Amino acid sequence: MLDIKISDIVVGQEPNVSAREALIRWAKRSTAKYPGVAVRDFTSSWRDGLAFNALIHRNRPDLVDWRTIRTRHVRERLETAFHIVEREYGVTKLLDPEGE
């Protein structure tokens, strides 16, 4: 079995920080070194698919070719990320990417 280490999201370490805020801070830190990725919120920051793919790549670089994914169209990037997390982690795709 493949042992996967994903950065911990610690809730409760700082007073008055919600789980939502802790998650967005984790996503910002995790994607900070990826060019073109700027996580600021849970909506617009994810629309182009780069943040999703950056998180996958940071934790499992064998699953995403970062150089290639950056050159793909938005819909392809989103479909790639959704396909990978469904195949590798069993996370069902609940959203469909909208047209660009």
What are the pLDDT digits (tens) for 49-99? 999 999 999 999 999 999 999 999 999 999 999 999 999 999 887 666 665
**Within a domain: residue 60?**
yes
pTM value?
Answer: 0.79
**Within a domain: residue 53?**
yes
* Count of structural domains within the chain: 1
Radius of gyration of the chain (CA): 14
What domain range includes position 38?
Answer: 19-89
**Within a domain: residue 74?**
yes
**Within a domain: residue 99?**
no
Which domain CATH number covers 54? 1.10.418.10
Q: State pLDDT tens for residues 27-46.
A: 999 999 999 999 999 999 99
Which two structure tokens, joined as six digits, stand for 91?
A: 């996370």
Which two structure tokens, joined as six digits, stand for 86?
A: 């469904």
DSSP codes, the chain: -----------SSSTT--HHHHHHHHHHHHHTTSTT----SSSGGGTTSHHHHHHHHHH-TTT--HHHHTTS-HHHHHHHHHHHHHHHH-PPP---PPP-
**Within a domain: residue 57?**
yes
